[in-house]
Amino acid sequence: MAELKSTSSLASQDAPRTIRSARHAIVSGETSAVALADSYYDTIAAEDPKINAWLALSRERATAQAHRIDELAKTGELANEEALPLAGVPIGIKDVLVMEGAPATAGSKILENYRPPYDATTVAKLSAAGAVLLGKLNCDEFAMGSSNENSAYGPVHNPRALDRVPGGSSGGSAAAVAANMAVATLGTDTGGSIRQPASFCGVVGLLPTYGRVSRYGLIAFASSLDRVGPFTHTVEDAAILLGVLAGSDPMDATSAHQLVPNYAAALDAPVKGLRIGIPDEYFADGLDEEVRAAVEKTADALRAAGCTLHKVSLPHTRYAVATYYVLATAEASSNLARFDGVRYGLRAQDANSLSSMYRRTRDQGFGKEVKRRILLGTYVLSAGYYDAYYRKAQQVRTLLTRDFLQAFTQVDAILTPTAPTPAFRLGEKTDNPLEMYLADIYTVTANLAGICGISVPCGNSSAGLPIGAQILGKHFDEATVLRVAHAVEQAQR
Amino acid sequence: MQSTSQTPKQIEKAAKSEPVPLEQVLRVAELAQLELREDEQQEMLRDLNAILGHVAQLNELDTREVPPMTQVNAVMQGDASDAGAVDAGNVLRADAVRPSLDRAKVMATAPETDGTYFKVPKVIER
């Protein structure tokens, strides 16, 4: 048995990159949790200056967690894989999720020095499973954006091409995994903010069903759309993490009481006989030809694995972006009303009345995109417009959901591109917010319907940029989505 | 939230893509406790109208008989393995008092406090 290395002697390219290999390396004594964390911090120091994925590093808490794992490894308590399934695994947390002892800025100036007094349920669950939490990750401000260019702390650069965006809003979370600065990270997805960055950065990103994972401790953007989910290198790791994160939570009134199956165990079950739906509406104008080709190749691979492919129709797809931007901004205008300088975060110092304190604080603290969305959301809820916009959008949401419920009576999963193009250049779309919004067309539908999905790498463009395939599944049927994604992943090998 | 008592004609008029004027944007900003600087106003006006122009296409759909989706959990299908249990909207807990956050920890993040209360500029001028 190799002697435990107390200093970081793991070259960063040799560091284990999956949950099982990291855990195994610690349990077998090949390395220690402290050395593994150190090696990841070394990679962060070397790579992050050009990527800007990290906003804060929680090295003290991480080292303490790693020490605890090393003590347990010595006693043999980690021999059973079920005990602390994430023992020693270095994980990063998107900065819209609260973690005690570290700042939570939500990528905004309005929370620049905010230190939350509690852990989000998802953060607490990762810790309880033995994870070593490295720090907080950059994101679009209040999770509003598709490129991570809306952060008050600078944009994130795509590790696969530094002049390109990593996607958003969880750009930091996706980039950290892609650049091997963490084994896995947590992100959030309200309109595609896990799946699209996963696609742009060439990693796996999972969108759990609404209510599958607790939102307690997630700084809310749109409460009927927000989800928390993992970024990983492999589908197996996404399955393991979902098993840790899923479950009901008394602190989240919308969290579901569905049983949590063993997602990782079901992964290898053959996909033969599964019916895969291909919706025409997701393969129409605006889809980059190389993305189309990569997803069609994925469909071929699934057919070769014994799946049957079926055309399905999701006729209300073209109304999805409009529906989303009415509902999400309306909910955001309500959720962001709490940032007023009273209880936490920034307070404008030059105000001589309460009302001017509110306005100056919010003017100084919020960026342009956030202001834009609050204004739109307030407008669609205001007297005289509520029925025409907000209530109408809620009705269209029903129609969009019915499209999926109907499709899932004929197929087990739906295959689409994750995004219409590979990663675009930094600054390319910042002048045209509507154009940026329209690029969310393939992802917002799942958030509106409450269903689950995943983005899995399925090839590269001729410029070497990653392309992701999206697999969507019924409510609480992550098991099928993961199984199909695993088959896609296996076919790439 | 219940529907307001507008006639269908009034609703349709509200959603027509007539551009929103600046005064209305400023009024909405007031409602949202946002102060828009002069250099921001024109850009915000332009962006808002562009987005509302796109949103107007929702009027193409006849939704008179369609219920609004107010609770996501209520429309979900259950998974067979849990004996058909499906969430149907809010699940409530017992109304019992439990410890909350530690006050000292919470007040540590306050911009201005006396330890118990959050202090703010005067609300009422005498």
pLDDT digits (tens, 9 = 90+) for A196-208: 999 999 999 999 9
Domains annotated on chain A, with CATH: 12-204+212-245 (3.90.1300.10)
Mean pLDDT lowest among A12-26, A86-100, A278-292: A12-26
Q: What is the mean pLDDT of residues A462-471?
A: 98
- Asked whether residue A220 carries a pLDDT value surpassing 80, the answer given is yes
Quick check: A3 pLDDT over 60?
no
Give B-chain residues touching A318 at CB under 8 angstroms.
57
Tokens found for residue A375: 């204004």
Under 8 Å between Cβ of A439 and A419: yes
Task: Tell me how far apart the alpha carbons of residues B108 and A119 are, in angstroms, rounded to a whole number.
Answer: 16
**By CA distance, what is A473's nearest residue in B?**
B77
Q: What is the pLDDT of residue B123?
A: 78
Cβ <8 Å between A259 and B79: yes
How is residue A325 written in tokens? 């931007």
Size (chain A), residues = 493
Q: How remote is the C-alpha of A351 from its chain's centroid?
A: 38
For residue A115, the chain B residues in CB contact (below 8 A) are: 108-109
**Residue A5 pLDDT level (bands cut at 50, 70, 90):** very low
Mean pLDDT across the stretch A288-303? Answer: 98
Are B76 and A209 an interchain contact pair (Cβ–Cβ within 8 Å)?
yes
CB A476 within 8 A of CB A258: yes
Residue A398: band (very low, low, confident or very high) from pLDDT cuts 50, 70, 90: very high
- β pairing state of A452-460 and A308-312: unpaired
pLDDT digit string (tens) for A298-341?
999 999 999 999 999 999 999 999 999 999 999 999 999 999 99
User: A105, A209, A347, A391: best mutation site toward chain B, by most B Cβ within 10 Å?
Assistant: A391
**Residues 48-87 in B contacting A (C-alpha not used; CB under 8 Å):** 48, 50-52, 54-55, 57-61, 63, 66-70, 72-73, 75-79, 81-82, 85, 87
Q: Taking the model in full, what pTM does it have? A: 0.94
CA distance A403 to chain B (A): 12
CB contact under 8 A, B111 and A345: yes
Interface test with A, best of B24, B36, B73, B95 (most A CBs within 10 A): B73
CA distances from A210 to A442, A454, B77 (A): 17, 14, 12
Q: In the predicted model, what is the mean pLDDT of residues A274-287?
A: 95
- Average pLDDT over chain A, rounded to whole? 95
- The minimum CA-CA distance between B23 and chain A, rounded to whole Å, is 13
Mean pLDDT, residues A344-349 taken together: 95
Asked whether the beta carbons of residue B3 and residue A391 sit closer than 8 angstroms, the reply is: yes
Q: How far apart are CA A321 and CA B55, in angstroms?
A: 8
B76 and A476 within 8 Å at the Cβ level: the answer is: yes
> Does residue A8 register a pLDDT over 90?
no
Best of A99, A392, A429, A452 to mutate (most B CBs within 10 Å, chain B): A392
Whether B68 sits inside 8 A of A341 (CB atoms) is no
Residues A241 and A23: their CA atoms lie apart, in Å, by 13
Q: How far off is chain B from A342, nearest CA to CA, in Å?
A: 7
Q: pLDDT digits over B115-124, tens only?
A: 999 999 987 7
Task: Write the burial class of residue A19 (CB in 10 Å: 0-12 exposed, 13-18 middle, 19+ buried).
Answer: buried
CB contact under 8 A, B32 and A394: no
pLDDT tens-digit series, residues B81-116: 333 344 445 567 788 998 888 999 999 999 999 999
pLDDT at B14: 65
In sequence order, what DSSP letters do the residues of B53-101 get, joined into one string? HHHGGGGGS--TTPPP---SGGGPPPPGGGTT----S------------
Write down the pLDDT at residue A126: 98
Residue A72 in tokens: 């347990």
Query: CB distance B14–A347 less than 8 Å?
Result: no
Interface of B with A in 2-41 (CB under 8 A): 3-4, 6, 10-12, 14-15, 20, 25, 28-29, 31-37, 40
Question: Quick one: pLDDT at residue B80?
Answer: 35
- Residues A491 and A235 sit within 8 Å (Cβ to Cβ): no
Which of B14 and A436 is assigned the larger pLDDT? Answer: A436
Contact call for A362 and B6, based on CB within 8 A: no
- Please give the backbone phi and psi of residue A388, each rounded to the nearest 5 degrees, phi first: -65, -35
Q: How confident is the model at residue A11 (pLDDT cuts 50, 70, 90)?
A: low
Question: Which pLDDT score is estimated for A1?
Answer: 37
Residues of A with catalytic function: 94, 169, 193
| Mean pLDDT, residues A141-148 taken together | 97
Query: Is there a contact between A405 and B6 if contact means CB atoms under 8 Å apart?
Result: no
Q: How close, in Å, is residue A462 to chain B by CA atoms?
A: 33
Burial class (CB in 10 A: 0-12, 13-18, 19+), A375: buried
- What confidence category does residue B126 fall into, taking pLDDT thresholds of 50, 70 and 90? low
Cβ contacts of B74 on chain A, cutoff 8 Å: none
Please list every residue in chain A whose beta carbon sits closer than 8 Å to the beta carbon of residue B12: 388
What are A208-219's pLDDT values in tens digits?
Answer: 999 999 999 999
Q: Give the pLDDT mean for B12-38.
A: 85
pLDDT at A245 over 50: yes
Which site among B5, B18, B24, B28 would you substitute to test the A interface, given the most A Cβ atoms closer than 10 Å to its Cβ? B28
Is a pLDDT exceeding 60 seen at residue A438?
yes
Residue among A261, A319, A347 whose CB faces B58 most closely: A319
